[in-house]
Every structure is written in structure tokens, then in C-alpha cells.
Structure 1
Amino acid sequence: MNLNLKLVTISLFAWGLGEGMFLLFQPLYLKELGADPVLIGGILGGMGVALALAQIPSGYLADRIGTRPLMWGSWLLASFAAWIMALANDLSMFTVGLLIYGLTGSVLAPMNAYITSARGEWSAEKALSVTSAAFHFGMVLGPLLGGFLGQQFSLKFLYTIAAIFFVVSSTLVLFIKKVEIEPTLEHEPASSIFHNKLFMRILPLSFIALFFMFFAQPLTPVFLEEVHQLGLQEIGYLGAIGSIGNVVLALSIGQLKAKTAYLISFPLVIIFGLLMAKFNHFIWFAAAYFFLGGYRLARTMLLAITRQFVKAKETGIAFGFMETTNGVATILAPPLSGLVYQYNPSLIFWIAIFGVLLSGIINVVLLPKSQTEVIT
């Protein structure tokens, strides 16, 4: 691993530690500030709007001006947003900070393009999996620390500590060096990305998969608190276990061929839904959160799959399209999940289960088979 990749990896660990402190508790804090399940879903959906709107422009700019300036901007914006959330005293101001934080999702396309360009002798799958694992190592500790501090002090206090970690993360990433774009390989298509039939086939397949994989997630902490009376520290433990699952799956299954690992993610997320819907003991919830790592695995492997079918110089905009697809899923899923939750809390998991099963079958049939396919 070269120095640039080390800096990104350590910076992502610090980011994961900061985000992990509050992400799992965010629906609970929104509820504490006065939001009901539908409004919680709407606010989180709004965060998805911010995420989606930023992705394609960010990916386009990454291919034009380079990935490093966009990474710097996103990291600094994350620190700014974290301090707004930390200092907010009402739902309105907190929501402003949350939406600004959603814009920092624009870092995903240029960051992943940077990682694949800076990977050296590593494969794209390995580089993306290892950096993702570092982020989730931080996400292991974040919920544990957040659950403890939230129980001892307040949920609001978590955002102040998280903001400090974001400042540390931003400082580290400012030291990364510019990397050259990889040369175009012979198997890469010569036509515009908009005429790239295989890539355009991947987009809708990824959308239906990520929509249903994400569907039940936003309101799961509320479900655990309201239906099963779990405390903040217990929910924090679950978040940490979920992050351990992310790391273990990224470093094991994530080392397989991208398509194989991606398809394995579907049954893993189905197991999450079944355990949440059918059982009521903490040990089963812990197992569920571990298997939810299949969702993160799917997102990472979709990027590795995408990289096989686009030119190196179009990696940024291609990843931008992929992250926009994920963003649209995160826009639509939370408010719909909120409506379903008000009708029947456990129904959100059954919808997710059958949706993931159906989308998995569709992906098996229609996903491009190998990087040797050529666009005509």
C-alpha cells in the first residue's frame, strides 16, 4: 500500500469513527427534536436528495479537474456540516446541517476514482475493499462510543465529538498527492459513456437492488427502541456489530470476483430482514446487523463491476452515475418506509425481504457477465 492510499485509509477510519458516533442514532435524535416517523423518513429522504444531486456533477468534475480538489472540498464541507449539527438547538437548524452533510456524499465518486487510480499493483476490488474496511473499522468503534456517551450525557453531545473526528480526518486527507489516470486498456469501450450499453444496463439493476436493501434500514433503530424497548447503548452495540460485519465481509467475500461477491450480498441482506422480522432477542438482532454488511458489500462491488466496463478517463462520471443511483434509492426508501412503519412496523422488513429476493433474481439474469464483453 503506497502513502496516498495509506492517508486515505487512515482518514476514512477517522471519518467512520465520527459518522459512526451519530449515524445509527440519527432517527432517534430527530425523534427527540420532535419529528414523527413520516417526517423522519422525509428528512432522511431529503438527505438522499442532496446526495443524489451532487454525484454526477462531482464525477464529471473529477474527470476534468482531478479527484483530489473534490475530495478536499467534500472533507472540509463534512467538518462544517458536523459543526452545524453539533451546535444546532432545534430541528430546523439541525436539518440544515444534515442536508449539507448529505452533499458530502459527492466525495464518493471522486474518492473511489482516486482509490482505483492510486491502487498500484492491487486490483480495484482489493483497493476498494480495504479502504472500505478501514472506514467500517471506525464504524465499529463509533456506535460503541456513541451509545455510551449518549447514555451518559446526551445525543446532542455525540455530534460535538464527531465534529472533532471530522476535523482530524480532513487534516489527513489534505496531504494526499495527485495521481495520474490509468492508461486505457484494450478491452475498455471507445464510445461515450452515454452509449455504453453494458454500463447503462447496470444502472437500473443496481437501483432496484439498493432500493430494497436500504428500505428497512432508516427506521430499524426506531423499531428497536419502540417495539423491543432497546436502550441507546444496546443499539450502539448493534451498530458496532454491523460495522464488524461490514469489515469481515469486505475482507473475505470482497476479495472474490466482483460479480460473485455482489450476488452473494443478496442472501445476506435477506437474512437481516428475516432475523429482524421473526425474532425478538438481542442475539438475533446482532446477527441481523452482522449480515446487513451485505448492503455495503453490494455497493462496493457495484463500483468494481462498473470499473470493468468504462474507460479509465470516465471513471469519475461513471462512479457519479452509480452513486446517484444509490442516492435516488435513499431518497425514495425512507419516506415510503416511514408510511409503511406507521401502518405496521414489522412490515418494512417483509417488503425488503421480497424486494431483495426479486431484485436478486433479476440481477442474476441480466447483469453483464464479464469484462471481456464489448459494446457495439
Structure 2
Amino acid sequence: MTSQPHADADAPTASAQSSPVSTQKSANAEKPVGSALTIVLLATVALAMKGLLAKFVYATGMTVDGLLLLRFLIAMPFFWLGVMLFGKQRPGDRKMQPVDLAWGALYGGLFFLASLFDFTAVSLIDVTVSRIVLFTFPAVVMILEALHKRRFPPFRQVVCFVVTYIGLMLVLAPGGFDMVSGGLWYGAAWAFGSALTYACYLYFGQRMIKTIGSMHFAALINTMAGLSMVLYELVVQKPLNLNPAGITWTAGISIFCTVIPFFLLYEGIRRIGATQASLISLSGPAMTFFAAWLFLGEILTVPQMIGFAVVTLGVASLKNSFSLAGLGRLLARPFAPNTKP
């Protein structure tokens, strides 16, 4: 219409009308990314509490297998309840189809293996070393993306990983690696196996998240992982040592440290992708140590406190610059006033 002579007379009016629309579109384009960062951060905080509560479970005498099996079984109905109540508000590109069950079984099996390898590593080596090795999975995700898309990762993602991992080493190994227990390489191999399987599941599963929706994906994957755990337990037949107190703690882990954060995490992945979401989740171990200091009275050393600050700034750098103002803008997003007309 701009080619018509009389359009110039209406230009101010059209401009006035299109400006709010353009501004609104720009705001809508910016909002999903910013809110996704907040969503993944909230999921990371909830997931970080999992290890903290697991200490109370083990104190009751329950085994790792008992905790894992019960956690999956308790979480299953709550995942599907969430789908029934809120799934229509978080749709995917299409409805779930029979072929999705096969892919769900594959990704659920990978998630089950990642959990099993992780807990095996913790039983063999010091938890500090296992956390450091396990949280190489964002690097594996970046490598998978680089190989898959045949391009080098964006500079900001590389910087985020390097800075955050330096902070992790300060938080998790302030005394150096010479303080760890024996059998390091054997246990580290199990931890890296967990990182590898988790990274594969996270990266290749993100397409399915967009296809069937984050809530359906969360319910399907955890159901398949639970079924894998049941089959595994039927084969190995390890003791579970179930007891009322342990079941109660495990129920809390299943709901508040599994169902809710997984819904949040997968929704974040749907919006910003697995690579950025995995980088944000690097703050998880530091949050675990901070929670242990806050609730259990464990002391954080000066290097650990510095490391925690570095981890926080590293995560904030993914969206903002290395500044307190940038971190403030990120964390203030959930409390920003609604500017919609």
C-alpha cells in the first residue's frame, strides 16, 4: 500500500497504530526467552534439593534401589495428573501417537541409565568428584549440537560453560583433587557414563518435547524410566529396605524434586533448547552445597563461597553481561509488572 499516493496522508496514523503492535511483538519475542531462563532456574533449585532430602531417606535404612524405584512409581500418577489438568495449556505440534511410545521408551531408558550410573558413581567415589564429572554433560550437549549442526558453539555459551565450571570446581573441590578417595578412575567412568547418557537423552529428546509438548514428554519419559527401573529390579533383585519414614521422604522427593521441576525444566527446554537449559542447570551442584550449609549447618569455605558467586555470574552471563545489574534484571523478571494493554 505504500506505493499508493494517498498512503502518505495516512502514514502518521498507520505509524501510530503499528508502533504499539511492533512493540508488543518485540515484547512477546523477548518474554519467552527471559521467562524460560527463570523457569529453568526454578527447576534447578528444586532439583538441587533432591540430594539434600535423599540424606534423610538413606538415614532410614532404605537403599539406592529402593529410593529410585519408589521415586519413579510415586511420580508416575502425578505426572499424568498434571497432563490432565494443564496439558492442554502447553500443547505440542501434534497429539501423542503410538510411534511416540517407542521414542519415549528409548529416551526413558537413557534417563533411567543416567540415574543408575549417577548413583553407582556416588557409591564408589567421593561425591565431590562424581558431581564434577557428572556436570560435564553441558559440554557433551554442546559437542553433540556442534557435530549435529556442523558449527562451533556460540561464544557466549562457551564462556558460560568455562566460567561456571571454574566456579563448580571451587565449590566442589576447594581442597584439590588430591583429597579424593581411591578408585577414582573406576568411579569417574560411571559418572561420565551418566553425563553421556543424560546429555544424549536431553539433546535428542528436545525435538520430541516440541512435538508432543513439555508436559506429555515429562509424563511419558518418567513413566518409561519407571518401567525400566521395575524391569531392572526384577532382574537384579537387590534389597530395597522400604519403611514408612523412608517412603514419606521419598514421596516428598517425588513430588517437589521430580514432578514439579521436570515440568518446569522441559517447558524451559521447549522454549530455549537443551543447550542453554543444560548450561543454566550447571548451577545445581552449587545450590546443593548452599542448601546444605543453610539447612544442615555444613560450613562453606571462602573458596566455596567465591565459587558459588562465580557459578551464579556464569549462569547470568548466558542472557546478560557479567554484572550485578544483569543478574538483577534476570532475577527480577518474575516480579516485573504486566505491561500488556
Normalised by the length of structure 2, the TM-score is 0.41
Q: Computing the radius of gyration over CA atoms, which structure comes out larger, 1 or 2?
A: 2
Higher relative contact order, chain-length normalized (CA < 8 Å, sep 6+): 2
